[in-house]
A and B are shown apart, each in its own frame.
Chain A
Amino acid sequence: MSEARLHTPLGGAGFKGYVSFTEVAPTGMIALRGDLANATVAEAVEAATGQGMPAARRIEGGLDGGAAWASPDELLLFVPQAEAAERTAALAEALATQHALVADVSDMRAAFTLKGAHLRDMLAKLTPADLSPETLPSGEFRRTHLGQIAAAFWFEAEETAHLICFRSVADYAFDLLKEASEPGGEVGYFSI
């Protein structure tokens, strides 16, 4: 399969404002529903992502290998894109004997990486989530909405965050993030 046949929703578009962001390269993502307290599930997750079972609302690892808590019985796993199909199959195989759902959802979402000192201020323009560092520390996987769409994001570090949304609304998300990041729009609330 040649790379030219892969089209992410935004073709890797980006914007540089007081916060800069770009759509990331195709990323492998796997949806897993099952009993998160089950040891076999935890082992399978570790085998697929190299990461341990995340606590509620947390993500272990990141885009190149990560496990994010999505609900009491759901995880979103991140794996290298080229290995997504293989690891989905392996995960399904590992969980074949128990009640679980495994699906390759690599193509379902658009993903962005955002960087900047005023990142929290920028996101607070678009989401009702509490962006204070105490409530939303690094590694907190926040499912919420961005403007009028569903989205999830997490801080990898204080000035770096990743955000995912459904691919059909990637343009809308891009435009929202762009206007919120326009120079002159710094709020100086979370970061002065």
Chain B
Amino acid sequence: MEKSFVCIACPMGCALRVWEEAGEIRVSGNTCKRGLEYGRQEFSAPMRTVTSSVRVEGRKHGLCSVKTDAAVPKEKVPQVLSAVYGLCVQAPVRVGDVLLENVADTGANLVATRNVDKA
């Protein structure tokens, strides 16, 4: 099945056509190698990084921002978000602290992206 994408590798925004042929993923419309790679990835296994912020226990404001430390499969984004929304962290938190391991079984960890000092 053929799919079309807008390449996001640079501002050119090439219109890519991607399809499978004889067990190989073929890309057309790209003007560079980065487009080829993007097209293949987006066709076979689109990946996204999830970012959000979570509540810090005992605080009304001043949330702690978080991200997945690697891109996760696009179709798993909703499960990752659900896991994030259930979370409440305890200060102190440092950038990079793992808050949830293997979030939603994606292999990626949820890590803090902000320092939160003890009140």
**Do these two chains interact?**
no
Instruction: List the interface of chain A (C-beta within 8 A of B).
Output: none
Instruction: List the interface of chain B (C-beta within 8 A of A).
Output: none
